[in-house]
Amino acid sequence: MSIEITFGPRVRKSPFFDRTIAAGVSQFTIYNHMYLPTGFGDPAAEYQRLLQGVAMWDVAAERQVEICGPDAERLVRYLTPRDLGQISVGKGRYVPLCDHQGNIINDPVLLPLASDHFWLSIADSDVLLWVRAIAAERGYDVRVCEPDVSPLAIQGPRAEDVVADLFGAWVRDLKYFWFEQTELEGIPVVVARSGWSKQGGFEIYLRDGSHGDALWDLVVAAGEAYDIGVGAPNFIERIESGLLSLGSDNLPDSDPFEVGLGKLVSLDREDDFVGKAALIRRAADGPQRQLVGVVFDGPPVKPNQHPWPAWVKGQMVGAVRVVCHSPRRGNIGLALLATGHASIGSVIDFEGEGQIFKGEIVEMPLVRPGTPLGQDAGQRVMAPFMAAEMEIAESLPTLL
Ligand code: THG
Mean predicted confidence (pLDDT) in 241-251: 98
Q: What is the pLDDT of residue 390?
A: 41
For the CA of 203, the closest atom of ligand 1 is 32
Q: What is the pLDDT of residue 389?
A: 44
* Of 31, 94, 261, best ligand 1 pocket probe by most atoms within 8 Å of the beta carbon: 94
The H-or-E segment that residue 139 falls in is: none
Provide the residue ranges of all domains of the chain, joining segments of one domain with +. Answer: 17-62+149-237, 64-134+255-286, 288-385
Classified by CATH at the fold level, domain 17-62+149-237 comes out as Gyrase A; domain 2 (3.30.1360)
CATH number of 64-134+255-286: 3.30.70.1400
pLDDT at 131 over 90: yes
pLDDT at 388 over 80: no
Name the pairing type of β-strands 229-230 and 55-58: parallel
Distance CA 391, CA 152 (A): 29
Q: Is 288-385 a CATH 2.40.30.110 domain?
A: yes
Give just the sign of the alpha carbon dihedral 8, 9, 15, 18: positive
Q: What percent of the chain has pLDDT over 70?
A: 93
Q: Comparing 64-134+255-286 with 288-385, is the CATH topology the same?
A: no
Q: What is the pLDDT of residue 397?
A: 38
Q: Is the CB of 232 under 6 A from ligand 1?
A: no
Q: What is the pLDDT of residues 259-272, one digit of tens each?
A: 999 999 999 999 99
What confidence category does residue 194 fall into, taking pLDDT thresholds of 50, 70 and 90? Answer: very high
CB 308 within 8 A of CB 264: no
Q: What is the pLDDT of residue 167?
A: 98
pTM of this structure? 0.93
Grouping H, G, I as helix, E, B as strand and the rest as coil, residue 3 is: coil
Q: Which of 51, 90, 38, 371 is nearest to 201 (CA)?
A: 51
Q: What is the pLDDT of residues 41-96, one digit of tens each?
A: 999 999 999 999 999 999 999 999 999 999 999 999 999 999 999 999 999 999 99
pLDDT at 379 over 50: no
Distance 194 CA to ligand 1 centre (A): 7
Q: Is the CB of 58 under 6 A from ligand 1?
A: no
